[in-house]
Amino acid sequence: MINQLGFILTSKCNLKCHYCYYNNDIYPSLNDNLKLEDITSFLERVTEVIPVKSLLLTGGEPLSMGYIMELIVFAGSRVRDIMLLTNGTLITEELLQQLIAHRVHLAITLDSLNEAYTDQYRGRYAKVMEVLHMIYEQHYSDHVDLNVTVSPENVDHIDEVIAYAEERGFGVNLNLMDSEDLLSWNKASTPEIDKALTVFKGFYAFEERQYHYKLAEFTLKKQTRIIPKCYFSAKTLIIDSDRTIYPCFHNKSPLGQTTDSVLEIMDKHGEFITRHQSCFNCYRNACFSLF
């Protein structure tokens, strides 16, 4: 049963991260933006049919869209939880107060406390740290996760980021670099790979089945495994910035457009799930559905 919608509000961003999908030909740079009415109309129609519990807003940089708070206010009356994935650089004191007032969960990217690394591969380290300090001062840290992309170049920085997060009350999500550029794990040394696996195994020791560690090990050791069932897409619809609807952020099997009938979209979604009930090959083999 679908209970989450993810909206890619825009493919545009105020930063040019070296390893971003849109900067590495993994996804086409569509230069599209969802209009507010595209989202509100679709969300209104969907929630009449499906009991959506959560909304994920991402991009590009979602805070670059001038309607972001209007959207959050509208969505807040229809879904329980709203998560915003952002690089954090556009958060002002005024905007933060509005986000806090609407209990928006934030996921902010912080790959390192090394300013040189961050400025080289992402940019605006000082601004991100300023925003995180603002959040901490407002006692809102428990509503914020730090998204950490682990590469061979920053694997030795991760323990420091985790310690910083624990000290300030932020959550942490560790993700392996998924890029073929100079930060690719395909170019990593054995000690770098071993270090990454140690970090993942230690940080996610609380997980009963160690999903994060198993996925990291699978990816870094270039193992082969057929996905037994597509779990993520069974509960999610992703609406891209060109209004096309997909079952997953990475699986680009179109289910329709935001103007289509919700029932027609659900029928196509059901057909997709049926096709992916048993073992299959997905072009993206870095997914929790593997385990």
Please calculate the CA angle 282-283-284 and round it to the nearest 5 degrees.
90
For residue 59, being part of any structural domain is answered with yes
CATH code, domain with 218? 3.30.750
Band (19; pLDDT cuts 50, 70, 90):
low
The most confident of 16-25, 27-36, 127-136, by mean pLDDT: 127-136
Q: What is the pLDDT of residues 197-220, one digit of tens each?
A: 999 999 999 887 788 888 888 888
Residue type, 204: Y
Q: What value does the mean pLDDT take over residues 111-125?
A: 90
For residue 96, being part of any structural domain is answered with no
Which pLDDT score, from 0 to 100, does residue 248 have?
A: 85
* Last residue of one domain, picked from the residues 200, 223, 246: 223
CB burial of residue 37 (10 Å; 0-12, 13-18, 19+): exposed
* Same domain, yes or no: 218 and 158: yes
pTM of the model as a whole: 0.89
Which pLDDT score, from 0 to 100, does residue 291 have?
A: 46
Q: Which residue has the tokens 């897409």?
A: 233
Number of structural domains in the chain = 2
pLDDT above 80 (res 77)? yes
For residue 145, being part of any structural domain is answered with yes
* Same domain, yes or no: 113 and 216: yes
* Same domain, yes or no: 50 and 119: no
CATH code, domain with 10? 3.20.20.70
Domain that holds residue 59: 1-14+31-86+233-291
* Same domain, yes or no: 218 and 248: no
* Same domain, yes or no: 150 and 200: yes
Gap between the Cα atoms of 16 and 4, Å rounded:
28
Gap between the Cα atoms of 34 and 286, Å rounded:
28
Q: What is the pLDDT of residues 274-291, one digit of tens each?
A: 877 666 555 455 565 544
Gap between the Cα atoms of 198 and 229, Å rounded:
28
* Same domain, yes or no: 178 and 71: no
* Same domain, yes or no: 169 and 255: no
Task: Decide if 36 contacts 258 (C-beta within 8 A).
Answer: no
* Same domain, yes or no: 210 and 109: yes
CB atoms within 10 A of CB 184: 14
For residue 142, being part of any structural domain is answered with yes
For residue 22, being part of any structural domain is answered with no
